[in-house]
Structure 1
Amino acid sequence: MELTQLRYFAAVAELQHVTRAAERMHVAQPAITKSIHRLEDELGVPLIASRGRNIVLTDYGCALYGMLREPLTALDQIPDQMQQLARRSACTLHINVLAASRAVTDAVIAYKHDHSEILFSIMQNELTQICDLSVDTLTEKRSAPETAENTVSFQEQILLAVPSHSLYSGLHSIDLKELKEEGFICLAGNRKFRKICDQFCQMAGFHPKIIFESDSPATVRNLIGAGSGIGFWPEHTWGAVGEDVKLIPIANPQCCRELQISLHPQDSARTALVHPFYHYLIHYFESLFEA
């Protein structure tokens, strides 16, 4: 069966008239008739019968028409649906957020306040660069950030978060090696921030004693605030910790991470959509880090 045959038959079935069906499909009447005869031969059943100058559907024809109406309607809607998807894609920014999700989300909310027509699709996929831009953190420590085309880097200090009533809360700084017996509350082990913090502890000569881990920075903060343990906290991108948590600089080793905002050009036609937000996000982070 060919799609054209099915469309011709559906037109005849709806109009109950071969000539009007041919006019609708913009073909000659014999083409409609031959197509339906070929369809009948292929299916092995009669689909239409003559009644005077008109035609009627056989039981087989009625059954086939009932089967075809919904799928043919769906096929007819495909061009409009594709155009709708194209229009939606043309105003949708795709961001791969692998670090600083709280800060990126706040930036998106602020940007949409003045650009309500822009849509955002946010993913967390380490295996793809099929996106308009990404925010990531390096898991290998470097002496100085390297500047790459379409990439801007930020150095963020990592602080120690302790309960406000902790014995450590009055300190102005601390050496990480003093904490080897403490229980740490951390992000889950598959998160890059966790890997970086584990590296800091290894540099201080110990493996952290993990007493709780979570995928949520808010959960980490709440457990530290409740006095359940201590943890690491990035200085700017996770937001304020509240009165029940105290942040202490780590004197040794040097604890910081490098965040990267990267542009991933996929289509030059999207430049007018992507570049304004890319530069907005850079300025947003600059303001955040200067605060």
Structure 2
Amino acid sequence: MKLNFTSLAYFKKAAEMEHLTKAAEALHIAQPALSRTIRGLEEELNVTLFEKEGRSIRLTRDGHILLKYAERFLADYDGLQQELKDPRDLQQMTVTLSILSATKLIPAFLAEFKKANPSVMVEIVNPNMPMAHKMPDLTLYSSTNHIENSHTVTLFRESLVMVLPRTDRHANLPYVNLADFRDRNYIAPSKGFVLRDILDTYCKKAGFSPKIVMESDNPGTIHEFVNAGLGIALVPQMTWYAAFQNLAALPVGDQDCHRYLNLSWKTEGRLSLTAVLLREFIVDHFWEYVREKANSEFPMG
């Protein structure tokens, strides 16, 4: 956890309310997330910021020092946000985001960001229609490998599961082996999509090439095809949870099938303040949002 707008705002709220649970409720985040933020600040600064008093918390000497600077910093930030409300600065208020993965979950997640930053405009860029050859500020996408460089960070590693109709004879197994499904029909994205590359790679390791009978990169469409008994599919377990709620979703036992979800940002020019805010929000909270959303609405067992 690095010092940033979000972490300082969370720290300030905890200091004001002197209670982690109440502060988390006021911030509309989970209490463990707030605790991790505070621990991250303490580790980065090598200090103790709070001491416990029963169920309450109190600032230490170092905590009071950080609060003094955090209040100044956040006050300047609030002033900047007020200036950004001027219609003449609309461009500075707008963040462009290209979504190549997790398309079903990101809209509700962005709504949480808007609650905390109502003046920021988030423009979703269609990757198939370049915006006057201008690169988006941020891009959310998946890959077969972990990525970490000056303009990209891997958000989390996600397992893949095999989805089958509940009437399939394998539906009640605790897991499946990919090698046992060499003769089945598969529903998958077309070539060039990361999920298709992942399927081809794991099937090759199992000794066969998948028989693709229908192609789609839309989770809902793949769900309907599988539910109709037209084929099976290898899909992300967490970010696609809503796409197989009435299907059997089984882990793969003979291979560690997974993908990585990443966030990158443009390398040309400097990111605007609003783009940095959204980047920090996604990095700090998207994995926790995905995990809690999936587990609450469709427990993985």
Instruction: Give me the whole-angstrom Cα distance separating, in 2, the residues matched to 1:168 and 1:109.
Output: 39
Match of 2:138 among 133, 140, 145: 133
**Secondary structure, counterpart of 1:161 in structure 2:** strand
1:73-101 deviations in Å (ceiling 9; x for gaps):
xxxxxxxxxx96x6332111111222222
- Show the counterpart of 2:264: 262
From the CA coordinates, give the structure whose radius of gyration is larger: 1
Could you tell me whether the CA contact under 8 Å between 2:160 and 2:237 is conserved in 1? yes
* Residues paired across the two proteins, number: 203
1:249, distance to aligned residue in structure 2 (A): 0.3
The alignment partner of 1:131 has SS state of coil
Partner of 2:178 in structure 1? 176
Structure 1 segments of 4+ aligned residues over 4 angstroms from their partners: 126-129, 265-269
TM-score, with normalisation over the residues of structure 2?
A: 0.60
Q: Matches of 1:216 and 1:242 in 2, distance apart? A: 12
State the match for 2:104 in structure 1. Answer: 102
Q: Which amino acid aligns with 1:119?
A: M
Q: Does the CA-based 8 Å contact 2:161-2:235 persist in structure 1?
A: yes
Matched to 1:211, the amino acid is: V
Q: Matched residues in 2 for 1:136 and 1:269: separation?
A: 19
Percent of aligned positions with the same letter in both sequences?
Answer: 23
Change in Cα spacing, 1:103 to 1:243, as seen in structure 2 (3 Å) is closer
**Preserved contact between residue 159 and residue 237 of structure 2 (Cα < 8 Å):** yes
Partner-residue secondary structure (3-state), 2:249: strand
Cα distance, 1:225 vs. partner? Answer: 1.9
Match status 1:274 vs 2:275: yes
Over 3 Å counting, the alpha-carbon distance change for 1:266 and 1:91 in structure 2 is: farther
CA drift of 1:240 comes to 2.1
| Amino acid across the alignment from 1:148 | N
Does the 8 A contact of 1:164 with 1:243 survive in 2?
A: no
8 Å Cα contact 1:129/1:264 also seen in 2? no
What residue ranges of structure 1 are gaps of 5+ in the alignment? 1-82
Conserved 8 A contact 1:94-1:120: yes
- The answer as to whether partners of 1:161 and 1:233 remain within 8 angstroms in 2 is yes
Q: Aligned ranges for residues 16-95 of structure 1 at < 5 Å?
A: 87-95=89-97
Which residue is equivalent to 2:158?
A: 156
Point out where structure 2 has 5 or more consecutive residues left out of the alignment.
1-85, 296-301
What is the alpha-carbon distance in structure 1 between the residues aligned to residue 243 and residue 103 of structure 2? Answer: 16
| 1:236 to partner: Cα distance | 1.1
Q: Secondary structure at the match of 1:240?
A: helix
Partner of 2:228 in structure 1? Answer: 226
Q: Secondary structure at the match of 1:157?
A: strand
2:192 aligned residue (190, 193, 207) = 190
Alignment of 1:197-208 (within 5 A): 197-208=199-210
Q: Given the two structures, how large is their TM-score scaled by the length of structure 1?
A: 0.62
> Over the residues paired in the alignment, what is the CA RMSD in angstroms?
2.6
In structure 2, distance between residues paired with 1:117 and 1:179: 51
The Cα of 1:232 is off from its aligned counterpart by 1.3
2:163/2:244 contact within 8 Å kept? no
SS of the counterpart of 1:274?
A: helix
Q: Once the 2 structures are TM-superposed, how far is the Cα of residue 124 of structure 1 from its aligned partner? A: 4.4
